[in-house]
Structure 1
């Protein structure tokens, strides 16, 4: 049974977190399994160069479509706090502005992508033999970006309403379509990279259709024409919080550029393909922690808006506890099964031999990452855009990018892999400091009427 918005402020936190986090985790699992299987099929049926091409292209399209995610998360924070404060009209206006902002900005990115495709691919690391399959993969994906952006935005709004199961279904549907169409287009029709891209593009459109159906027939947010009018204060509030998420994705895109160039320079096409496997495993293996973080956001945002600060503190503590337990289990499994994991993706003996070391080092600090993820999410849910931006950018922007630029000069390709756990530790220390200060001072002071 779906959670109503009122229950976000009244139901037992443990039960509520499970109700929100489990569907979010399942949705992320299906999305990551989709990407994982897509990469496996591409690697097995087309070749290891195809994995490298996908590794180059996907950060570009995710950067473009992440506008939708950013507007969804930022607007979702505004929307959750409006619902928590009993202001449904503001929630409706917020949602209407989210739709228009997402479609407009994503369409602009598509036009830029069409005019500057070669330059973008080269910038993101499409060197040597990677360039041709990357171009073939890029164009069908590019056209589907507005649909993916609207899906990402809509999914966060669905979750902000407390309808986590519908958000889960929205992520499951494209996974099934993508895998089925991969088999049809790559294996049966032998369409190669174009077929892989076409399958992905169509799957994004199916997600868009489901999200549209939800808001027409199931949502509590019934939009009217008057809600589709830009209101500057709302746009400003959405933009300030959305900038946090989009900045993170922008930094991820910059990181992808630096990583792909470093990997190619120090290890050639094979190292780019190895990171393609590692990055897919990062999304796949960490799905429970990401699910807990997604489940945490609407609960924290709603209760912060309703001034139920003790419930906010309890939600933070439980989310970190559950996330840490899950992350530790994942780390142990990666340590044990690193080599069999690599063999699933490719038959190339060099990649199978070198991937396990990369996997183990990249995941080395995963048991502590829940602190960083939940901490940054809290400040975003509470509408504290500056702190949220600082903490969200800390891992990739402040630590990982400099480390990837510096360490390979002394340690070669190993310097790339060791940079990940060092960045995790440093960003967790920074986030832990701010979060502890917030929980022991500001939240308690507000509760007692001091602030």
Structure 2
């Protein structure tokens, strides 16, 4: 009964309280997760140098490809699971969970094979120069060997959140972050392992949290159950999970392609220094966007559950509140970046050239960041509703449809500045697209959905037979 209440509160608690209780743990967890990426970069920058940061930046697209599959299974599975729980189909939710674990096992084997076969050719294809390819290999080889730990932790975090257990989901992000921050200086400086030490510290931290998550599912603390029979792959389940998770996969994969395009154009029109600067800026982007992603992740189980339960009043309230919060956060981020870009760069490096260039490029890249909130909510909303076409369009719009073409075209006219200018321009167009789609589909979540309860304040009860 207690386990059922874990997910049932998604349909009963007041929306502001529920969104706060789900979003704040997600924000904290993602904040700490971003923090250890930032700390990683700080240690590598001060301990090895800006070329090492460039090497890790060039290697990052491979990690993003690996995480793209995990995102598809985790986010797609979370959407399906939350709707199954809302419909009182618990056994089907368990089968969805088991199939996700099976796919993670398969991609883990592929990651290990890739580490021994195609790593260096792939890095060279992705734009690594002879000066930085060694750093790229040192970083990615241990990461690929630990594919299972990364994929499992990343996917199950979304699944834990789909049943409404935001606090444990937060802990699964905080635990590896803290361990990584502790181990980084030990391996990088104490054992003099440089970039490879940073990667090994990361793998150990993810392995540690994997044990914690497995214990959570195997000891009955979850609303879900993990049994051997649930691991048997069912194509119908995978088809639904992949359909919903495809936008998340596409977004991550497009991010990988975007990184390759950016690194290539920065090397061509700038140099390794510019790739290193972008590596630092990328960490700042992660750090500043995480609060909005936390709100979106807090929204998704509420939206999915209440959509499955046909409680459209609560769905509408969640969307409106989520938009207000994310837009407010994006405005605060804009003010911060425009005010103190030099201070942010000085956290990562003492190199005056890197600080000066980074501050200038930060202001350009973040000049339209106040528009990102609408994109984030729109993409997450359609994923939670199980509407893959709209979610796919929004997930691809900023990176693949707008940003990558601009990155490839603008430098021919504006030099290296064209790479940085591509970001605010793509933000503008992506915001317009997200707003247009949400306005077109407003009947679903702005008060005219089929089956909507017209009586103010009344909730639609969900019987155990539905």
Q: Which residue of 2 aligns with 1:71?
A: 73
* Residue of 270, 274, 280 corresponding to 2:273: 270
Matched, 1:253 2:271: no
Unaligned runs of 5+ in 2: 454-466
Give me the whole-angstrom Cα distance separating, in 2, the residues matched to 1:363 and 1:240: 32
* Residues 334, 366 of structure 2: 8 Å contact kept: yes
Alpha-carbon shift at residue 441 of structure 1 (Å): 6.0
Alpha-carbon shift at residue 110 of structure 1 (Å): 3.3
Tell me, what secondary structure is at the counterpart of 1:184? helix
* Residues 177, 203 of structure 1: 8 Å contact kept: yes
Higher mean C-alpha deviation, range 433-442 or range 89-98: 433-442
Q: Which residue of 1 aligns with 2:194?
A: 192
Matched, 1:340 2:347: no
Q: Which residue of 2 aligns with 1:379?
A: 382
* Residue of 218, 228, 231 corresponding to 1:228: 231
Q: Which residue of 1 aligns with 2:328?
A: 325
Q: Which residue of 1 aligns with 2:319?
A: 316
Tell me, what secondary structure is at the counterpart of 1:222? coil
* Residues 299, 315 of structure 1: 8 Å contact kept: yes
Give me the whole-angstrom Cα distance separating, in 2, the residues matched to 1:431 and 1:127: 38
* Residues 67, 106 of structure 1: 8 Å contact kept: no
How do residues 20-39 of structure 1 correspond to structure 2 at under 5 angstroms? 20-39=22-41
Matched, 1:447 2:440: no
CA deviation string 1:211-267 (max 9, x = no partner): 112112221212222212112211110111122111111111111110000011111
Q: Which residue of 2 aligns with 1:212?
A: 214
- Normalised by the size of structure 2, how large is the TM-score? 0.94
Higher mean C-alpha deviation, range 261-270 or range 189-198: 189-198
Q: Which residue of 2 aligns with 1:401?
A: 404
Q: Which residue of 1 aligns with 2:298?
A: 295
CA deviation string 1:373-399 (max 9, x = no partner): 111111111111111111110000100
Alpha-carbon shift at residue 45 of structure 1 (Å): 0.9
Give me the whole-angstrom Cα distance separating, in 1, the residues matched to 2:105 and 2:158: 15
* Residue of 10, 13, 21 corresponding to 2:12: 10
CA deviation string 1:26-83 (max 9, x = no partner): 0000000000011001101111111111111122113113312210100111100000
Give me the whole-angstrom Cα distance separating, in 2, the residues matched to 1:40 and 1:418: 26
How do residues 232-243 of structure 1 correspond to structure 2 at under 5 angstroms? 232-243=235-246
Give me the whole-angstrom Cα distance separating, in 2, the residues matched to 1:447 and 1:366: 37
* Residues 111, 145 of structure 2: 8 Å contact kept: no
Alpha-carbon shift at residue 445 of structure 1 (Å): 4.2
Q: Which residue of 2 aligns with 1:390?
A: 393
In proportion to residue count, which structure has more helix? 1
* Residues 147, 208 of structure 1: 8 Å contact kept: yes
Give me the whole-angstrom Cα distance separating, in 1, the residues matched to 2:295 and 2:384: 14
* Residues 67, 252 of structure 2: 8 Å contact kept: no
Tell me, what secondary structure is at the counterpart of 2:131? helix
Aligned residues: 449
Alpha-carbon shift at residue 190 of structure 1 (Å): 1.1
Give me the whole-angstrom Cα distance separating, in 2, the residues matched to 1:293 and 1:212: 25
How do residues 424-439 of structure 1 correspond to structure 2 at under 5 angstroms? 424-439=427-442
* Residue of 123, 143, 147 corresponding to 1:141: 143
* Residues 61, 145 of structure 1: 8 Å contact kept: no
* Residues 9, 302 of structure 1: 8 Å contact kept: yes
Alpha-carbon shift at residue 123 of structure 1 (Å): 2.0
Alpha-carbon shift at residue 105 of structure 1 (Å): 2.3
* Residues 313, 439 of structure 1: 8 Å contact kept: no
Tell me, what secondary structure is at the counterpart of 1:257? helix
Give me the whole-angstrom Cα distance separating, in 2, the residues matched to 1:62 and 1:149: 11
Matched, 1:41 2:43: yes
* Residues 182, 196 of structure 1: 8 Å contact kept: yes
Give me the whole-angstrom Cα distance separating, in 2, the residues matched to 1:405 and 1:207: 39
Matched, 1:418 2:421: yes
Aligned-residue CA RMSD (Å): 1.6
* Residues 72, 246 of structure 2: 8 Å contact kept: yes
Give me the whole-angstrom Cα distance separating, in 2, the residues matched to 1:119 and 1:412: 28
Q: Which residue of 2 aligns with 1:110?
A: 112
Q: From the superposition, tell whether residues 421 and 266 of structure 1 become closer, same or farther in structure 2 (CA, over 3 Å).
A: same
Give me the whole-angstrom Cα distance separating, in 2, the residues matched to 1:214 and 1:240: 27
Unaligned runs of 5+ in 1: none
Matched, 1:155 2:157: yes
